[in-house]
Structure 1
Amino acid sequence: MIRRVLISLASCLSALTVQASSGLHDVELHDLYFGEVLYYAYQDKYFEALSKLDNELSQYYEVDEKALDPLHRHLSQAEFSVGDLEMQYRMNQRAGKAIQAVLGEGVDLATRNLAALQLARVYYRKGEPQSVLYALDLIREEPEKSRYEARYTLDVLRGKPPESFSKEVAYLRALAYIDTGQFSQAAEILQTLRNEKLFEGFVLYNLGIALTRSGQTEAGLRVFDELGQLETDDETLKALKDKVNIKLAYLYVDSGNAASAQKYFERVRLDGPFSNRALLGAGWVAASQGRYDRALVPWSLLHKRSEINPSVQEAMMAVPYAYGKLQAYGKSANLYGEAMDVFAREIGNLDASIKSIRKGRFLKALLDEHGDKDKNWVVNLRSLPETPETRYILELMAANDFQESYKNYRDLAGLRHYLVKWLDDLDVFEELIELRRIYQEPLLPVVEEKFRKIDARMRLRLEQRDNLNTKINNMLIAPRPEYLATVDERIALDRLTRIKEYIAAHPERASSEINSRVGRLDGVLLWRVRSEFDQRLT
C-alpha cells in the first residue's frame, strides 16, 4: 500500500500540477472512423489513436468535395486533437507544432485559447517557463471580428470555453512565475485560487513555496501548516499532506525545536508513503530528549518493515543503540548482530540483482505481458514471486525520472512490435495487389475502349457547351431575341413565314383582310419575343 501511494504520488505531483483536459471528451459522433480514434483514446492507447487520426486527416485533405465526408463535422476538433494526442504520447515537439497550427487558423476564440493553453502545458513539461508565459500571453479576451465579421456572428467567434479555463490559465501562470523566480506575482495569483476545489492542496503547496522564497517565511509556514491539516479522502492529497508534514518536521529538527517537530511527525499516517521517515524522525526526536524508551516505540514499528527501505535500515542500527543507552547490553548486542546479518544478506541480494539485470532479465520483466493487461502491474509486482531482477523495482518506480525512462522504453518496445507487424502486413498487401493485377489485367483493354468512347462523348458535349456559351455572350453584345423563343412561338413564326412567302408568290389570292391578320399576328409574336428577351436571358 505504501509503495503504491508513493509511486502514484511521484507521477501525480508532476502531472496534477498542470491538469490537461483532452479535446476528445463529450463528442457528438458523426463519423465512424473518428469514433475509432475515440475508442483507442479513451483506453489511453494514444499511439493507436494518433496513427488512426493522422491517417483519417491525410485522406480527408485529398478529398475533392470535403463537405460530403462526415469527418468535416469534426474537423476543428480532429486538428486540435492531433496536438492533444501527441502531448499525451509525450511527443512534445510535434505537439507544439500541431497546436501552433491551430493557433494560426482558429476562427473560434475558445478553441484558439484552449490551443494556447495546451501549448503552454507543452512548454511546462519541457521545462521552459519563459515559453509558458509567452504561450499564455497569446490568450485573448475578444476575437478578431474584423477578419470574419462577414461570415460569423460575434457569439460564434467567441465560442464556449470550458468552465475551468480561466482558473487553469491562472494556475499555470503562477507555476511559471515560480519557475522564473517571480515569487511575489505567483503568490498573488495563488491567493485568489486558495478555495478552488480543482487544485485543492496543490495551490497551498505552491503558495507556501512562493511565500517562503519571496522572503515571507512565517506566512509560508502557516500555509504549509494549513495544508498539513487539510481534510480530504483523496490518496494523492493525503500523500502530499504527509510530504509537507515531513518537511516541516525536519525543518524544526534542524533548527533544534524538537517539540514542534514531534507534532508534525505525529500527523503523518502510519500507512502512508512517508511513514518510514516519520517513524524514524519521531524516534530521533525522542532520543534527542534523552527518552530512549519512547524512541523505541516508533523504531520498533519501523524495524519490522521491508529491509530494502533506507529508513528501516537506519532503524536496525538505531534500535540496538537505544537499548544500549537503556543499559540492555545483551539485547543491544543481539540486535546489532541481526542488523549485520541483514546488511550482509542485502549486499548479496544487490549483487544477485546486478547480475540478473546485466543478463537482461530486468528489461524482460518490465515488458512482461501483464503490463498490457493491468495498468497497475508494476505497482502490484509484490504479488508476484520475488526474483533478483524485480526485488528493487518498486523503489525505482517511486522516482519520476525512472518512470519516464520506463515509459519511453515501453513505448519503443511497442513501436518495435508495430513495425514487425506492419512488415508482415506489407507482405500480405503485396500478395493481394498481385492477385488483383492478375484479375484486372485482362479487363483493362475493354475498360480502355469504353473510356475512349465516353471521353469522345464528353468532348462533344464540352464543345456544344462552349458553342452555347459563345452564343449567349454574343447576345449580350448583339441581342437576337428569336434565339430565345419558345417551341410554340417558333412553330407559329415558321407558319407565318410560310404564309408570307405564299402570299408573296400569289398576291392575287390574298385579300387585304388576310394581309392585315398576318401582319397583326406577326407583330404580336415579335412583340412578345422581343419584350421578354431580357427576362429570358437572365
Structure 2
Amino acid sequence: MVRLRLLLSSCLLLGWTAVCAAGSDLRDLYFGEALYHAYQGEYFDAIARLDIELGQYYGIDEPQLDTLHFHIRDAEFSVGDFELRYRMHQRAGRAVEAVLEGDVTPSVRNEAAYRLARILFQKGQPVEALQALERISGSVPESIRDDVAYLRAQVYMALGRFDEAIAVLRGLQNSNSYAGFVDYNLGIALFGAGRPTEALVQLARAGQVSGRDPGVLAIRDRSNLVLGTRLMEDEQFDQAWEALDRVRLTGPFSNRALLAAGWADAAAGRYERALVPWTILAERNVTDRAVQEALLAVPFAYGELEVHGKAALLYGKALEEFGNEIARLDASVASIREGKFLEALVREELKQDSDWVLKLRELPETPETYYLVELLASHDFQESLKNYLDLEELRRKTAAWDDYLTAFEELIALRRAYYQPLLPNIDRQFRLLDSRLSLRLEQRDHVARQLHALLTRPRYDFLITASERTMLATLAELEGRLDDDDPASQELLERIRRLQGVVRWNARTEYHTRLTKAFANLRSLDLEIARLKEAYGSFVRTRQAATQSYEGYDETLQRLRVRSREANERIVVLMEQQGALLEVMAIEELESRRRRLEDYQVTARFALADSYDRATIRQGEEAGER
C-alpha cells in the first residue's frame, strides 16, 4: 500500500503524462515503477523494468487479461523514449518502428512516425527524419500537432530547404508552446534564404517575446544577441546597442552581449559608453573568453580616450590575470594527465546535487575540473562525458550484482538448511496419508457404483439402516436359540418374524426416500473429498515449492555471475577508452585556451609598452608646457 501511494504521489508531482495526464487510473504497478525511475533520470533502471514487463506481457497466452494491457500503447512508446534519453538510438528506433509497422490506428501510427523522426533527427540523420515525417498522414493527435510541424521545420533547415521551413514556421507563429523559438528559427531561416531584412524583423520580434519560462528567456537573449551582432555588421550601431541592451545581465549570453555592446559603442567612437559594459564584463570570471577579451578592451578604450597611464595599469593587470590563468591551465593539464580529472567526475556525493558540475568547479583541490562548465559547451565533450558517467554507473551496478548473487546464494543455503532436515519425516507422513486417501477414494467410488446400480435394479436390503441391520441380526440370533418342539417357542418365533417383517416392510416402503437421502449424503461426501483434494494439492504444491526454493539455482546463478563479471570487464575497458578520450579532449581544449592567452599576452605586452611610451610622452609634453 505504501508503494502504491508513493507511485501515485510521484505521478502527480512529476507530471506523469503517460497515465495521469490521460485521465486513466494506474492499472499496472510495474509500468508505474518504470516511470517512477525514468522521472528521476534513472533510465537504465526504467528500461530494464519495462523490458521485463513487456517481455512477460507478450509471452502470455491472453495478454488482454494482463494489467499492462490498459497502458500497452504508452509502454511501447515509453520504452523507446527511455532508450532515446539513455542515448540508445538504435534500440529506440527499432522500438518505435515496431509500433509504426503494427496494426494500429492512424493517430497512433502518426505519433510513432513523429517519434521515429525525432530520434533520427537527434542522431543527425535529417534525410531519414524527413522520410519518417512523410509517413504521417490523416489525423494527427492534437497533443503533438505543433511538435510535428516544428520538427519538420528543423529538418528542412538542416537540409538547407529554407523556403519550406519558412512556410512551416509561419504557420506556427501563434503557437503558445513554441513562443519565441518559432520567431528565432524563422529569422535564421530567412537569413538562410537570403532575406536579411525580414530576418531582422523576426529576430526583433523574438527578442521581445514575453514570458518567464527559462527557455523563453534564453531564446529571447539569444535572439537579441544575434540581432545586435548582425546590426553591428551592417554598421547600425544605435539599433545594435538597443538590441544588446535587452539581453539579461545574468543570462547565459550576458558576457557575449556585454562585449558586443561595448564594441557597438566603440565602433561609433563612443569609448566612454563602451567602458560601461566592458568594465562590468572585466570583473567577471576570467575563464570566459569574452571576459578575457574585455580585459584588453577596457585599456584599449582608455587609450583611445588618451588616458594612457590608466591604460598601462590595466594592461599590466590583464597580463597578471593572463599569467595566473595560464598557470591554472598548466595545473589543470598536469592534474588531468595524472588521472585526477576522471576521479573527480565520478564523486558520488556531488551527484546528489542538480548543480553538481558547478560544485565540481568550485572545489579548490580539483584544478582539473575548473573549466568543466566551459568544456560542456562543446556538444562532443558533453556527449562523451555522459557516456563516461553512464559507464561508471553501469560499472557500479555490475559490481553490486555480484554482491546480490552472493546474497541469493546465502539465502538458498539457509532455505536448504531449514527444509532438508524436515522433509524426510514430512514425506513419510505424507505417504501414509496418501495411502489412506487412496483407500477412502476407492470406497467412495464403490459406494457410488452401488447406488447408481440401485436406480435400475432395486436392492432393498442395501438401504437398511445400521440400527435395522443390528435389529435383524439380533432377531436372527434369537430365532436360532428357539426350540422347534416347544409351543412357547412357536409363539416367540411368530413375534420375531413379525418384527423382521416390520423392518423389511419399512425398507421397502421407504426405499425411494432412503435412496434419495443416500445420494444427498454422497454429494456431501463429494464436497468433503473436494476439500480434501484441495488440501492435498496445496500440500503437494507447498512441498514442491519448498524443494524448488533451493534446488536448480546453482547453475543459473553461476551463469549470471560469469555474465556479470564479463560485462564488468568490458565496461572497465570501455571506461578506460572513454576516459582517455575525455582527457585528450579536455587537454586539447585547455591547450587551445593556453595558446589564445599567450596571444593575448603578446598583444597586452605590446599595448603596455605603447601605453607607457604614450604616457611618458604625454607627461613630457605636460612638463614642457608648465
TM-score (norm: length of structure 2): 0.62
Task: Please give the per-residue CA displacement for 1:409-433, whole angstroms capped at 9, x wherever unaligned.
Answer: 1111111111101122122223444
CA contact (8 A) 1:31 1:70 kept: yes
Contact 1:258–1:285 (Cα < 8 Å) also in 2: yes
Matched residues in 2 for 1:413 and 1:166: separation? 39
| Structure 2 letter corresponding to 1:41 | A
Q: Does 1:389 align with 2:384?
A: no
Instruction: Determine if the alignment matches structure 1 residue 105 to structure 2 residue 102.
Output: yes
Matched, 1:78 2:57: no
In the other structure, the counterpart of 2:258 is: 279
Tell me the residue number matched to 1:363. 342
Q: Do the aligned residues in 2 keep the contact of 1:23 with 1:80 (CA within 8 Å)?
A: no
The reply on whether 1:341 has 2:338 as its aligned counterpart is no
Distance 1:24 1:85, change over 3 A: farther
Q: What does 1:185-224 align with in structure 2 at a 5 Å threshold?
A: 185-224=164-203
Deviations 1:82-132 (A, max 9, x none): 212111212111000011111222434333322221111110111111211
> Do the aligned partners of residues 290 and 220 (structure 1) sit closer, same or farther apart at CA in structure 2, a change above 3 Å counting?
closer
Q: Are 2:309 and 1:330 equivalent residues in the alignment?
A: yes
| Residue type of the alignment partner of 1:277 | R
Mapping for residues 245-264 of structure 1, pairs under 5 Å: 245-264=224-243
Give CA-to-partner distance per residue, 1:124-172, whole Å, 9 cap, x none. Answer: 1111112112212223326xxxxxxxxxxxxxxxxxx753222211111
**Partner residue in 1 for 2:517:** none
Does 370-379 or 341-350 show the bigger shift?
370-379
State which of 292, 297, 305 in structure 2 corresponds to 1:313: 292
Alignment match of 1:414 (pick from 393, 396, 401):
393
CA distance in 2 between partners of 1:336 and 1:391 (Å): 25
- Work out which of the residue numbers 206, 209, 214 in structure 2 matches 1:227: 206
Residue 168 of structure 1: aligned partner? 147
Inter-partner Cα distance in structure 2 for 1:189 and 1:346: 47
Cα distance, 1:387 vs structure 2: 3.5
Q: Within 2, Cα distance between the matches of 1:263 and 1:80?
A: 46
Local SS of the residue matching 1:206: helix
Q: CA deviation at 1:24?
A: 5.6
Post-superposition offset of 1:65: 5.0
Shift in Å at residue 193 of structure 1?
0.6
Residue by residue, what CA displacement relative to the aligned partner does 1:477-501 show, whole Å, maximum 9, x if unpaired? xxxxxxxxxx99x958x89xxxxxx
2: distance between equivalents of 1:324 and 1:64?
Answer: 84
In structure 1, how many angstroms separate the alpha carbons of the residues matched to 2:160 and 2:270? Answer: 43
Q: Which moved more, 1:374-383 or 1:130-139?
A: 374-383
What do the CA deviations read for 1:382-438 (whole angstroms, capped 9, x no partner)? 665474122212212233333222221111111111110112212222344455556
2:135 alignment partner in structure 1? 138
Would the aligned equivalents of 1:22 and 1:84 in 2 still touch at CA under 8 Å? no
SS at structure 2 position matched to 1:346: helix
Question: Is 1:424 matched with 2:428?
Answer: no
d(CA) in 2 for partners of 1:234 and 1:186? Answer: 25
Cα offsets for 1:271-324 (capped at 9, x unmatched): 222222222222222222333222222222222111111121112122222222
Q: 2:37 aligns with which of 40, 43, 58?
A: 40
Shift in Å, 1:68:
4.8
Separation in structure 1 between the aligned mates of residue 204 and residue 103 of structure 2, nearest angstrom: 45
Q: Percent identity?
A: 48
Residues 256 and 68 (structure 1 numbering): CA distance in 2 closer, same or farther, change over 3 Å? closer
TM-score, normalised relative to structure 1: 0.72
Write the distance in 1 (CA, Å) between the matches of 2:329 and 2:210: 41
Identify the match of residue 249 of structure 2 among 240, 247, 270: 270
Contact 1:293 1:322 (8 Å CA) reproduced: yes
Counterparts in 2 of 1:451-462, with a 5 A limit? Answer: none
Distance 1:215 1:394, change over 3 A: same
Deviations 1:481-531 (A, max 9, x none): xxxxxx99x958x89xxxxxxxxxxxxxxxxxxxxxxxxxxxxxxxxxxxx
Equivalent pair of 1:370/1:377 in contact (CA under 8 Å): no
CA contact (8 A) 1:24 1:38 kept: no
* 2:47 is the alignment partner of 1:50: yes
Matches of 1:327 and 1:218 in 2, distance apart? 38
> In the TM superposition, what is the alpha-carbon distance from 1:440 to its structure 2 partner?
6.3
Separation in 1, partners of 2:368, 2:187:
40
- Identify unmatched segments of 5+ residues in structure 1: 1-19, 143-160, 458-486, 496-538
CA contact (8 A) 1:252 1:260 kept: yes
Q: 1:342 to 1:66 in 2, by over 3 A?
A: same
Return 320-329 or 103-112, whichever deviates more: 103-112
Pick the structure with greater CA Rg: 2
Q: 1:315 to 1:65 in 2, by over 3 A?
A: closer
Preserved contact between residue 350 and residue 360 of structure 2 (Cα < 8 Å): no
The change in CA–CA distance for 1:321 and 1:74 in structure 2 (over 3 A counts) is closer
> What is the alpha-carbon distance in structure 1 between the residues aligned to residue 413 and residue 99 of structure 2?
42
Q: Hey, what's the Cα distance between the residues in 1 that align with 2:303 and 2:162?
A: 49
| Alignment-derived partner of residue 57 in structure 2 | 60
Aligned to 2:177, the other structure's residue is in SS state helix
Alignment partner, residue 118 of structure 1: 115
One-letter amino acid of the counterpart of residue 101, structure 2: G
Following superposition, the deviation at residue 62 of structure 1 comes to: 3.7
Counterpart CA distance in 2 for 1:446 and 1:103 is 56
Instruction: Give the residue type in structure 2 aligned to 1:407.
Output: K
The 1:33/1:334 distance shift into structure 2, 3 A limit, reads same
Give the letter aligned to residue 140 of structure 1. Answer: S
Distance 1:79 1:231, change over 3 A: closer
- Does 2:92 correspond to 1:92? no
CA apart distance, 1:63: 3.5
